[in-house]
Amino acid sequence: MGVSTVTPGLEQRAQSLLERVHALTGDDPEWIRLFRDRSMLRFNEMGLPDSTDEEWRFTPIGPIADTAFALPAGSNSSAEVIAAIAFADAPFARLVFVDGILSSDLSSLRGLPREVDICSLGEAAIRHARLVEPWLGAVSTGGPSLTSLNAALFTDGAFINVPAGVVVETPVHLAFLTTRGDQAFMTSPRALVLVGESGSLSLLETYQGAGGLRHLTNSVTEAVVGRNAELEHYRLQLEPGDTYHIGRTAVRLDRDSRYTSHAVSIGSSLSRHDLGAVLTGENALCTMNGLYVGVGDQIHDSHTVIDHATPNCESHELYKGILNDRSRGVFNGKVLVRPDAQKTDAKQTNQALLLSDGARVDTKPQLEIFADDVRCTHGATVGQLDADSLFYLRSRGIAAGDARNVLIHAFASEIIDRMKLPAVRHHLEGILLASLPSPSTVFWGAEDRAEHSR
């Protein structure tokens, strides 16, 4: 009788992965090495979340925990990788990361003002240590254990510094790509974005990959928006359907600043994005727009927190989900109003569209208000396509399948139309049109199915 063995999972292999990272990044400053070590210590103390953790009870990370992920064997710039880069023809400045490592050959910084500092995080830790060291990990502090795991295992990342008074007209694109590997591997992309007083930046963050063997993307982006500054932030998760994606975005807003997030999740078998913003100065404005589209057995999980820490601030949040087949959506949105945050104006809305009887959504909007002079609302709706609207379209001679797709498209367009960059809108329109479901659910009557089959 043979001896059974248990393959160590991610948690058991984390320390050996850290040792490998230290070996690969021997030229990094000592304070970066200590930052990684402290982060691994925190990860070991917390461990991976499980179903007993209230914040993760709808996020089944068992497959992630049980997989013995390795580090990527090395980056490449093959034709397959180049072809995967979205917005390659758009007039954007671009940093491209392949399997977590910056590819200088695929990157281009044309069109940026000379005053803007943009480079790899490893280079910034040496050249701009006075900017990087105080902020790296400071904005995302106190997050889930996987945030600490990213901090321990990141080997490269992006650094963007927009000095005070600089308005960047050219959007900046951070493209994170993963390739096929001989074994399951994980990447830990990281970005630190600083927008100085009265500065302005449009930032596009995309995640794509080649698929194949399972891989895990565990990303962290930190952003500091200075006084009277503006950051328009697009985050598109478009990874293959056989991958896992965990992401964290943490933002700090100063007085009179403006931050707008457009978070889209379409790919990956399991995708979770934690987005948090702290409004630390008066008259700050935070807007969060989100869209997730699930098919097959996909799981899309969105957790948001807007922390009103000072008076006279506004926040507006709208998240929408489209779920078909046996896919599942999760939305947990919290608006926290602290005791000193009088005159807060906050609105939160979550809407989900279920296209099959097997699709499911768990939604939990939350308001935690500790001030008395505020105006705060929240709401959630879950439903199917409106029967009256369908009847109206069909009465105008539109086929049943086309009528449904028109309504699905209109539902998603409320989010897409809020995006200022035409290239992003058009790209998402194309993906949405290509993914519109075939009507094969129990919500279709026999006449509908017969008509669609013709």
Q: What is the pLDDT of residues 378-400, one digit of tens each?
A: 999 998 988 888 888 888 888 88
How does pLDDT run across 348-388, given as a tens digit for each residue? Answer: 999 999 999 999 999 999 999 999 999 999 999 998 988 88
Statement to judge: residues 65 and 196 lie in one domain: yes
Report the alpha-carbon distance of residue 99 to residue 345 in Å, rounded: 42
Residue 22: its pLDDT value, please?
93
The answer to the question of residue 300 being in a domain is no
The answer to the question of residue 75 being in a domain is yes
The answer to the question of residue 131 being in a domain is yes
Q: Where does a domain end: 281, 301, 324?
A: 281
Amino acid at 45: E
Statement to judge: residues 260 and 390 lie in one domain: no
CA atoms within 13 Å, Cβ hemisphere of 102: 21
Beta-carbon contacts of residue 297 (< 8 Å; ≥ 6 apart): 269, 325, 326, 327
Structure tokens at 383: 């439903």
Q: What is the DSSP letter of 404?
A: H
Report the alpha-carbon distance of residue 126 to residue 225 in Å, rounded: 23
Q: Where does a domain end: 232, 253, 281?
A: 281
Report the alpha-carbon distance of residue 190 to residue 159 in Å, rounded: 9
Statement to judge: residues 390 and 277 lie in one domain: no
Structure tokens at 82: 């180049």
Structure tokens at 53: 């953790």
Beta-carbon contacts of residue 307 (< 8 Å; ≥ 6 apart): 276, 277, 278, 279, 336, 338
Residue 438: its pLDDT value, please?
56
Provide the number of structural domains found in the chain. Answer: 2
The answer to the question of residue 66 being in a domain is yes
Which parts of 226-323 are beta strand (E)?
A: 230-237, 244-253, 258-265, 270-279, 285-294, 299-308, 314-323
Q: For tokens 């940093």, name the residue.
A: 95
As a whole-number percent, the residues of the chain with pLDDT over 70 amount to 91
Amino acid at 150: N
Residue 446: its pLDDT value, please?
43
Contact 364, 331 (CB under 8 A): yes
Contact 252, 281 (CB under 8 A): no
Report the alpha-carbon distance of residue 239 to residue 424 in Å, rounded: 16
CA atoms within 13 Å, Cβ hemisphere of 341: 27
CA 360 distance to own-chain centroid: 21
The answer to the question of residue 345 being in a domain is no
Residue 78: its pLDDT value, please?
62
- The mean predicted confidence, pLDDT, of the chain is 90
Contact 257, 232 (CB under 8 A): no
Q: Where does a domain end: 249, 281, 313?
A: 281
Q: For tokens 């978070």, name the residue.
A: 263
Domain that holds residue 392: 386-454
Q: How confident is the model at residue 75 (pLDDT cuts 50, 70, 90)?
A: low
Statement to judge: residues 423 and 276 lie in one domain: no
Residue 442: its pLDDT value, please?
38
Extract long-range pairs of 131-135: CB within 8 Å, 24+ residues apart.
131/161, 131/194, 132/159, 132/192, 133/31, 135/192, 135/194, 135/222, 135/224
Statement to judge: residues 277 and 392 lie in one domain: no
Report the alpha-carbon distance of residue 307 to residue 230 in Å, rounded: 18
Structure tokens at 267: 């790919």
The answer to the question of residue 374 being in a domain is no
Q: How confident is the model at residue 8 (pLDDT cuts 50, 70, 90)?
A: confident
Report the alpha-carbon distance of residue 173 to residue 109 in Å, rounded: 10
Residue 33: its pLDDT value, please?
95
Q: How confident is the model at residue 212 (pLDDT cuts 50, 70, 90)?
A: low
Residue 391: its pLDDT value, please?
84
CA 353 distance to own-chain centroid: 21
How does pLDDT run across 147-163, given as a tens digit for each residue? Answer: 999 999 999 999 999 99
The answer to the question of residue 28 being in a domain is yes
Beta-carbon contacts of residue 257 (< 8 Å; ≥ 6 apart): 225, 226, 227, 228, 229, 230, 231, 281, 284, 285
The answer to the question of residue 286 being in a domain is no
